Amino acid sequence: MDVYDNKQISGRIYFMSLLKKLAPICFAVLLMLPSVSSAASTVTTDKPTPRPITVNINGAFISTDANPFIQAGRVMVPVRTLASLGLNYTWDAKKHTAIITNSANETFRMIQGERTAYKNGKPVLMDSEANNYNDRMMVPAKFVSEAFGYNVNYEKTRGILFIQSKNFTPDDNVLNSSDLKLARLAAISLPINYSFKPDPKAESDKSQYYTYTFASNDATRYTYSNGNVTTVVEIKNEIAEAVWQFIDADIPGYNTKTLGGTKPDYISDMYNDSFNYNNGSYIGYYRLSDGTLKTFKYKGNNYGDIIQSIPQ
């Protein structure tokens, strides 16, 4: 059956068919990973290449001059990233010291390789030392940001570090904008909250594939998949809440396996518009009112670029 011509195909079957078409590509990518990693590093590993952690500051995805990473359970970010918080940064090469200053002239001084830092001249013990990696000063994001009064949350499901000012609130006008691309981008820019324990298999830090899907002309609900687990998210009162998390084996005789939450009645509507990232490539899918499936390819430089306008 050709999914491009059958107008009666259900949204869920259409989407899983797309995954089947992508599976050979994903498999080929996985086959290449060991040789790539061995050429790039002297350390041999069987683990997939990790996906860089994404940083979102006050609702905006930002690009960094070096990839954030996790060290001893702490997310490390380039110190220059903190400039997006309105913080000033200076580096003393001779003393290997970084000094961060906010608008109130409060200072935070860190010495490369040491866990002891100095806030306004008083020593404080950081949860991880600041250090130099590939000529970039990397600092523990949570400790440094919270030292200046920011809220920090690392969302494991999508591998996103959220840093927010204490007085930050999402813009309701943007979330409900008539500009569908803008509204959808605002929706995925909210950290996902859970009323159930998210499954570790949903985490995307080791996945080079992920996809967002939406119902037609809607930004108030979306699904996020890492190619293994799908999470259904609803946006209500400027909060993103996971309502269902599941594995769909797509094998005859096997039912969808719920990992948390409850399957919503509207799930079959959630696959009209799809935005996919696969190891550096982007492709979008959408269905016309007559059921015809259309695709389009595009490029992205920033995590938020995965959301695009649907061609008219």
pLDDT of residue 148: 87
On the question of pLDDT at 75 being above 70, the answer is yes
According to DSSP, the β-strands at 97-101 and 293-298 are: unpaired
On the question of pLDDT at 9 being above 60, the answer is no
Q: Which among 273, 265, 276 has a CA at the least distance from the CA of 294?
A: 273
Tens of pLDDT, residues 128-158 = 888 888 888 888 888 888 888 899 999 999 9
On the question of pLDDT at 259 being above 70, the answer is yes
C-alpha distances (whole Å) from 8 to each of 2, 124, 274, 285 are 11, 63, 18, 17
On the question of pLDDT at 43 being above 50, the answer is no
On the question of pLDDT at 35 being above 60, the answer is no
pTM for the model stands at 0.79
Residue whose structure tokens are 């691309």: 181
pLDDT of residue 46: 37
Q: Which among 106, 189, 190, 191 has a CA at the least distance from the CA of 144?
A: 106
**Residue 141 is encoded by which pair of tokens?**
């994001």
Q: Give the sheet arrangement for strand 97-101, strand by strand.
A: 88-92, 97-101, 107-111, 116-119, 122-125
On the question of pLDDT at 10 being above 60, the answer is no
pLDDT of residue 162: 95
Maximum average pLDDT range among 48-52, 128-132, 203-207, 262-266: 262-266
Average pLDDT, the chain: 82
Residue whose structure tokens are 């690392």: 154
On the question of pLDDT at 116 being above 50, the answer is yes
Q: What are phi and psi of 99, to 5 degrees?
A: -125, 125
The mean pLDDT of 282-294, rounded to a whole number, is 94
Tens of pLDDT, residues 223-245 = 999 988 999 999 999 999 999 99
The mean pLDDT of 117-125, rounded to a whole number, is 92
On the question of pLDDT at 85 being above 70, the answer is yes
On the question of pLDDT at 8 being above 60, the answer is no
pLDDT of residue 32: 41
% of residues, the chain, pLDDT over 70: 81
